[in-house]
Structures are given as C-alpha cells and as structure tokens.
Amino acid sequence: MTSAPTAPVPSSAPIATPAAPLDVKRISAISLDLDDTLWPIWPTIERAEAVLHEWLLREAPKTASLLLTPGILRELREATAKERSDLAHDLSALRRESIRTALKRAGEDPALADPAFDAFFAERQRVTLYDDALPALKWLSERYPLVAVSNGNADIHKTGVGRWFRTAFNARAFGSGKPHAPIFRAAAASVGLLPKDVLHVGDDAELDVVGALNAGMQAAWLVRDERPWVHGARPQLIVPNLHALCVALGA
C-alpha cells in the first residue's frame, strides 16, 4: 500500500493510539460520520440560525423577536421533541416543527415554517471542512469504498464531499439512526460487505464507536480534543485527526 498523505500531524498529539488490535487486512470498506468528523458542526449551525433569523426579520418579525427571548429556542425544541417523539430520528422535521411552533406562538402564519426552514437548511449545507478532511478523503477513497453514515441532515453532495463516497445513509431517510445496528449493517450491505469487513470512523463515542462495535464493525474513534473513554467496549483505534487514520491504515 502506498504512503499516506503528507499533511502534518500536530506534534502535541500522537499519530495513533491503539486501544485494541486493529485488523487492517480485514478492512474492505470504511463508513464515516460527517458532523464533527469532516467539519465542525456548531459554527455551521450558528451561521444557519443567523440566516434563519434574518429571514424571519423580513417575513415574520414577531417570531424573530420572540426567538430573541433567552432560552425560548431551547424551550421550543424540547417541547417539539416531546410532542413529536415520532420525529426523533429526523432533525430536519424537528427543526421545521420548532419554527412552526414559534410562528404560532407569535401569532404569525405557521405556513411560513417551510420557506423559513429552507433558508436555514441551505446555509446548513455550507460547511467548512477540517484541514485534514479533503486529503484524507482522497487517500481513503482511492483504497476503500466510502459510505457516509450520519444522524444529521447534511447532504454529501451539497456540502461538496459527495465525489468521495459511494453512497450515504442518514437517520431521516433510513428511518432510524446510530447507535442502532440496522443503519451500520445497511451501510456495509450497500457495498456488498458484512459489518465485520467495515471500519467505522466517527467522533461520538456512543453513537459512532459503541454503535459500530455492537453492529459487528471495527471502529476508530476520532478525538480532536481531550476526552476520556468512559464506555466498556473499546475502539480498535483512537486517532486525533484524519491524517492519523490514514497513517494507521497505511502503516
């Protein structure tokens, strides 16, 4: 196997810290989380919420004013999630319904929820990739079929990373999400493999790592900050960035 990309690895972090044996020869495909794995999610959400607020100022000013009340947005989200537990796996629907609830509470047209959400959603797709993401995606996709597996509502094509993936699964379209095994098994099946032949890579210890391990996959935990491992079953690999993942796979 040829050498990994030459992007620098921060000297303060190890290239890779194995927590359990990684069977590289067994890996025939890789599934990847998106949010906080390929790009930081909260700056993206903050920009999208700013765009939403600007839209509401123009089209539904009473709702825009209501949403400036401290704690009101969290309250609306929690109320919507409680009332619409059937949408727990669908972040887009929950966001849309939260906007609709805010419009109703402010006495404005609830039908505006759809175009308001569209404004939010378009900005939500404008992500800023981590510096290591594109070199790693190129290197990995030249060696393995890649499948995106996410509980979020990012679109791999609208975010600009679709060229590197064979296909993508998200909780909304699939009907359930991580850490439940079916979405991981479907990801493996989409490239003609069993879960044992796939390495899943993600930042969330429970959703990504524990979920993948329970589905029969190997798992790599991407930890860009300092966090202790607090779960029982451990990942086969712990890496500080995607370059380190490539180094571990190419060693």
Instruction: Name, in order, each residue with C-beta under 8 angstroms of 154's C-beta and a sequence gap of 6 or more.
Output: 34, 35, 124, 125, 127, 170
Assign 80 a pLDDT band (cuts: 50, 70, 90): confident
Q: Can you tell me the mean pLDDT for 215-224?
A: 96
- Residue 13 — very low, low, confident or very high, per pLDDT cuts 50/70/90? very low
Give pTM, 2 decimals: 0.85
Q: Exposed/middle/buried for 213, CB within 10 Å: 0-12, 13-18, 19+?
A: buried
Token representation of residue 104: 């109703």
For residue 251, the model assigns a pLDDT of 63
Model confidence at 12: pLDDT above 70 = no
Task: Tell me the per-residue pLDDT of 54-77, one tens digit each, with 9 for 90 and over.
Answer: 999 999 999 999 988 877 877 887
Residue 81: what pLDDT? 73
Is-contact 193 30, C-beta < 8 A?
A: no
Give the mean pLDDT of 117-137.
97
Interval 168-194: pLDDT, tens: 999 988 988 999 999 999 999 999 999
